[in-house]
């Protein structure tokens, strides 16, 4: 019997109070279109205040609280590709820039503190 290979799960956890669901859904649609044969599952996860985190399986590849910005679609596709099909070319979207720009930031003590603070962009209840 052949070994069954599980395709990766991509998830985007977003802040519903910040109204980021449509951004998360659009990014998910773009990833599913680009990696239609490589992604096994995609999930949108309503999360905590100010969160916008992209994961492949359980690996965080983008966290808005670390980077202080949203990913450009081109760089998000590159980050996902680098994990699920590193040998694949993305054509015109492929990286030709400095690799340091795309390195995953390390989680720091400042990150842990900022993760516990209130989001400044969320509407107050």
- Taking residues 15-29, what's their average pLDDT? 97
- Taking residues 44-66, what's their average pLDDT? 97
Residues 50 and 119: beta-carbon distance below 8 Å: yes
Query: Residue 123 and residue 61: Cα distance in Å, rounded?
Result: 27
Query: Residue 50 and residue 18: Cα distance in Å, rounded?
Result: 7
More confident residue, 90 or 125: 90
**Model pLDDT for residues 94-123, shown as the tens digit of each residue:** 765 544 444 545 444 554 455 555 666 666
Q: What is the helix (H) or strand (E) element at residue 61, kind and residue range?
A: strand 59-63
Considering only CA atoms, which of 118, 21, 104 is closest in space to residue 29? 21
Query: Residue 27 and residue 43: Cα distance in Å, rounded?
Result: 11
Q: Which of 27-41, 82-96, 110-124 has the highest average model confidence (pLDDT)?
A: 27-41
Query: Residue 57 and residue 84: Cα distance in Å, rounded?
Result: 10
Query: Residue 68 and residue 82: Cα distance in Å, rounded?
Result: 22
pTM for this predicted structure = 0.75
Query: Residue 73 and residue 95: Cα distance in Å, rounded?
Result: 12
């Amino acid at each position: 019997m052949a070994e069954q290979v599980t395709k990766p799960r991509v998830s985007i956890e977003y802040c519903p109070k910040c109204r980021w669901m449509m951004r998360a859904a659009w990014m998910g649609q773009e990833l599913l279109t680009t990696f239609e044969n490589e992604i096994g599952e995609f999930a949108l996860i309503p999360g905590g205040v100010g969160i916008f985190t992209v994961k492949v399986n359980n690996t965080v590849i983008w966290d808005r609280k670390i980077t202080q910005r949203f990913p450009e679609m081109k760089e998000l596709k590159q980050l996902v590709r680098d994990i699920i099909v590193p040998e694949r070319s993305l054509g015109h979207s492929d990286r030709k820039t400095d690799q340091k720009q795309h390195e995953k930031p390390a989680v720091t003590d400042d990150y842990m503190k900022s993760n516990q603070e209130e989001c400044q962009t969320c509407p107050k209840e």
